[in-house]
Structure 1
Amino acid sequence: MAWVYLGVAGLLEIVWASAMKHSEGFTKLWPTIISLVGMVASMILLSISMKTLPLGTAYSVWTGIGAAGAFIFGIVILGEQASFGRIAAAVLIVSGLILMKLSDNSA
């Protein structure tokens, strides 16, 4: 169950980062609220997952999901650049997440 909590926490990290982008420096009300609620919920779920998962595993996977997800959101939704180097970096992040999951036998 810890991995489910961690996965949802990672998805919420994408939500709050995306909302933060749209908040324009916390000057727009609804994106600011979504960002702040997403941050708190993400942190709560991360902390719950850390009851079972090792710190290094949980934090690495959480930040990796957020980083790769925000990268994909930026390209697909915001029209950001999709260069070979940026895509290769995202593939390496996702590969690291997969390896982290496969090498963890705590939960």
Structure 2
Amino acid sequence: MAWAVLVVSGILETVWAIALEKSHGFTRPIPSAVFGVALVLSMAGLGYALRTIPVGTGYAVWVGIGAVGTAIVGMTVLGESASLPRILCLMLVICGVAGLKFFH
């Protein structure tokens, strides 16, 4: 259960990161509200997961999911560069996160 919550919390990290960008410095109310709700839920889920998952593993997995998710949204939706080196680097992050879960 903790791993499922951690994955959802990592996805919510992507949500709040994109909402933060879309809030334009908290000048837009709806993205600002989405940011706040997603941030609280993401942190609460991380806190719950860390009750049974070691902090080094849990935090790294949470950050990895959020970073990869945010980069993918940036490349597919926001028009950021999707160059081969960037994609290869994202694959390295994914391999690292999978390794942390596998060797947990």
TM-score interval (norm. to shorter):
over 0.9
Structure 1: stretches of 5+ with no match in the other structure: none
Distance 2:7 2:81 in 1: 26
Identity %: 44
Q: CA RMSD in A?
A: 0.6
Q: Where does residue 51 of structure 1 map in the other structure?
A: 51
Deviation at 1:68, TM superposition (A): 0.2
Q: Where does residue 7 of structure 2 map in the other structure?
A: 7
**Structure 1 residues 71-102: Cα deviation after superposition (integer angstroms, max 9, x where no partner):** 00001111110112211110100000110110
Which ranges of 4 or more aligned residues in structure 1 deviate by more than 6 Å?
none
Letter in 2 for 1:47: G
What does 1:77-92 correspond to in 2, within 5 Å?
Answer: 77-92=77-92
Distance 2:49 2:42 in 1: 11
SS in 2 for 1:8: helix
Letter in 1 for 2:77: I
Aligned length: 104
Q: Where does residue 67 of structure 2 map in the other structure?
A: 67
Distance 1:39 1:89 in 2: 26
Distance 1:49 1:22 in 2: 28
Distance 1:24 1:87 in 2: 27
Residue 33 of structure 1 pairs with residue 33 of structure 2 = yes
Distance 1:43 1:31 in 2: 18
- Give the TM-score taking structure 2 as reference length: 0.98
Q: Where does residue 100 of structure 1 map in the other structure?
A: 100
